[in-house]
Amino acid sequence: MKFFIPGIYITVVLLADWLMPMGTFTPFFAVLGMMIMALTLKPYQMVPWSIVYTVIVCMIFLSPRMHLLFTGRQYTDQSVIPMLRAATYAMVGFIACYLCFILNRLRRAQQELAVVLNKLPSAILVSNQNGKILYSNDTARNIIPELEKRRSFYSFFDLLAPPERQGKSISEYLQRLESDNHDEPLPLSIYGLPYKGDTRVLDWMGETVLLTILSEDKSSRVVSPVIPRE
C-alpha cells in the first residue's frame, strides 16, 4: 500500500492543477513529494516514482498541449526556459534518489549495529549531546526499567549522574563527546549503586553520539536519587 501513495498524491495534485488553470503548481508539489519520498521510501520504490514524477513535470514544461492544459498559456518553441526548467527538475529527481539511497544505507547500518549491540552481555546506552538516550540494549533495560517504559522522559543525566557531582558529570560527558581520548571510566550510579561507564564516540545516523558500556563499580559507593520502579 505504501508503494502506491506517491501515485495517489501526484494524481490529486494533477487534478487540482487542471481544475485551477491559473499557472501550474504541479512542479512545486512534485518536488515536495519527491523529498518526502526520499525520507520514507526504499530505493527500489523511490527510483520508479521519481522517473514518473520527472516525466510528468517535463511534459508540462515541454509539451505544447500539456503546457496549455495546466498553465493556460501557449507554449513557445523559441524559449529555452522550459528546457532549463525540465533539466533542473531532472537533476532534482536524481538528487532525491541519491538522498534516498544514502538514508537507506544509514538506516541499515544503524539496524545492523543495533542487532550487534543487543546481543552483547554488557549494558549499553547510546546518547546524544543533550543526554537524550537514543538506544539501549536488553541488558541496560533490565537494569533500568525506565528505559523500556519512558525512555524519552528521562535523560542520561537523570538516570545515571550521581547527585553530588551532577554538574561535573555533565561537564565530563560533554568533554567525552568532543574527544575520544578518555581511558578512565565515567563515574555513574543507578538506584544508589555505583556504576562506571566506558565510553566511545560514534557516528549514529549522521549525529555524533556517546556509546556507554555500563558495569558495576565495586570499588566505591555513591548515593544516587532513586527513581521509583513502576
CA distance 201 to 182: 10
pLDDT of residue 21: 66
In a domain, 230, yes or no: no
> Residues 179, 136: one domain?
yes
CA Rg value for the chain: 26
Domain stop point among 108, 136, 165: 108
> Residues 139, 63: one domain?
no
CA distance 218 to 108: 38
Q: Are 91 and 65 in contact (CB under 8 A)?
A: no
Q: Which residues pair with 212 in a beta bridge?
A: 125, 199
pLDDT of residue 49: 93
In a domain, 84, yes or no: yes
- pTM, two decimal places: 0.62
The domain of 70 spans: 2-108
> Residues 49, 129: one domain?
no
> Residues 199, 103: one domain?
no
pLDDT of residue 48: 93
Q: Are 134 and 126 in contact (CB under 8 A)?
A: yes
Mean pLDDT per block of 10 residues along the chain (230 residues) reads 88 88 84 92 92 91 81 69 85 93 86 80 89 88 81 79 83 85 83 87 82 82 48
CA distance 128 to 67: 50
> Residues 93, 142: one domain?
no
CA distance 93 to 91: 5
> Residues 15, 82: one domain?
yes
The candidate with the shortest Cα–Cα distance to 224, out of 162, 145, 132, is: 162
C-alpha cell at 207: 549525529
> Residues 75, 140: one domain?
no
Domain stop point among 81, 108, 135: 108
